[in-house]
Structure 1
């Protein structure tokens, strides 16, 4: 039920722009992505730069944050699956259909 504590906890991860970017990129590509490719896409999106011009250090930092924080939160909320052995990220049915753009953003 919308508005319940459980529902609020499930959608709370979507209040952060980087996590929305992850879902956008996975939807745009329409197929699973590796952590490395997803980190490239996220950094490129956040910096409005093409992938070849990105700093390797920044991509590594974002990949670590995705791996340890963002992807587990999205997976726990049921928006994607993240295979820790292969580092492959896949949208779940919920991630493909949920209208996350209507969720308010977190305050910085």
Structure 2
């Protein structure tokens, strides 16, 4: 069933964004903290099976990180290039500002 063909489009929007935004930000955020290149996934899921597959790919990617890649990143300089400005953070504040989706769990 296409994600966009639900009875209540606002529910569809909620779940599509609830899961797709973390699928984008989590791999990028972990890669930034580990100082490696983030994977590039297409962002074109239109069905629940495709969304589930994307979730599984993201989890698989996150499972490749070793603790020593992230350990000590609390003080690491993280730079985000936006369209019109550059934002810089230390690792720990970046977790909360740069990746708000990491803190959404259990709020539904």
Considering the TM-score relative to the shorter chain, is it more than 0.5?
A: no
Higher helix share: 1
TM-score (norm 1): 0.32
